[in-house]
Amino acid sequence: MILVIGGAGYIGSHLVKELIKKETVVVLDNLSTGHRVAVDQKAIFVEGNLGNEDDLKSVFSKYPIKAVMHFAANSLVGESVINPLKYYENNVGDTLTLLKVMLRHNVKNFIFSSTAATYGIPNVDIISESTVTNPINPYGRSKLMIEQILADYAKAYDLNYVVLRYFNAAGAFQTGEIGESHNPETHLIPIVLQHLAGQREKVSVFGSDYETPDGSCIRDYIHVMDLANAHILALESLLEGRNKTATYNLGNGLGYSVKEVIETCEQVTGVKANVEIAERREGDPGKLVASSAKIFEELGWNTERDLTEIIQSAWNWHQNQKY
């Protein structure tokens, strides 16, 4: 059995859809930002907190868990600057509680959701796992702290782990059953699609004076189901003993500017956007593009969906959004 913490959230719920084909899945989620209906019906659902030892103990005593995948975190950069306490308590403190209870129950396989925000403002064009980490906000620091703690725990307590550093997750499950739903929404693609569906007056481009060809920020957008597949491969590598500790970037290796994303959304939907140029958003690096060569070479992962397919699946979800 695999325990998926945060399995009712955006990325976790997509992973569960894929994992349930191979494994029995237990989802633990406190539903603070996740959606109960997003959890596949074949999964066992437990409402509870990863920072609550009693909630964890009851899950680990009841079910024979062989690995934990940990998606539950606060993940808004801006909020983390205003309220760092929340980020250190929830992302660091609660994860420490989880690791303690896991180890006590002799569960030693762990997959951790990390982020491109651990790199800060990179000094290279394409980011590899050996690029120096230098996060510029509490969110990125909270994730890097856990990465460092994992390395110590692996040595001292024989913990096996894979850290996955996501770039920009987007898109939705192929059937349109589940997709991205945040409140408030801050991510570019859903915001543009909400505007093109008539639910927002305009789209703001945050900054047009970056050192990029069109002046807007460049990001590496990765389909949420490609991310899900990477988690399955990472899990198999731990369970089969091929990996003891590993850190991988997950991106497409292609950068698109904010303006290019808006244009692609226009092409997919056939609707013209009302675009305004706005101030830079604090804490946004100009360009974040991943090299995912390492996971390609070591685990055979590859991305199967490009930006157009990402936006098509998101649009499909958005037009018939269930939650």
Residues that bind ligand UFG (CB under 6 A): 75, 77, 115-117, 139, 168, 186-188, 191, 204-206, 217, 219, 258, 281, 284, 288
Helix (H, G, I), strand (E, B) or coil at 279: coil
Q: Which is nearer to ligand UFG, 219 or 305 (CB)?
A: 219
Catalytic site includes residue 166? no
Q: Which is nearer to ligand UFG, 77 or 102 (CB)?
A: 77
Q: Are 109 and 160 in contact (CB under 8 A)?
A: yes
CA–chain centroid gap for 66, Å, is: 22
Residue sitting closest to ligand UFG (CB)? 217
**Residue of 10, 87, 139, 256 with catalytic role:** 139
**Amino acid identity, position 148:** Q
Strands 218-219 and 256-257 come out as: antiparallel
Q: What is the DSSP letter of 127?
A: B
Q: Are 101 and 60 in contact (CB under 8 A)?
A: yes
Q: Closest separation between CB of residue 108 and ligand UFG, Å? A: 27
Q: Which is nearer to ligand UFG, 65 or 218 (CB)?
A: 218
Neighbouring C-beta atoms of residue 147, cutoff 10 Å: 17
Q: Closest separation between CB of residue 251 and ligand UFG, Å? A: 10
**Amino acid identity, position 198:** G
Q: Closest separation between CB of residue 185 and ligand UFG, Å? A: 9
Cα 16 from Cα 1, distance rounded (Å): 12
Q: Which is nearer to ligand UFG, 237 or 303 (CB)?
A: 303
Q: Closest separation between CB of residue 34 and ligand UFG, Å? A: 16
Cα 78 from Cα 313, distance rounded (Å): 27
Which residues are designated catalytic?
139
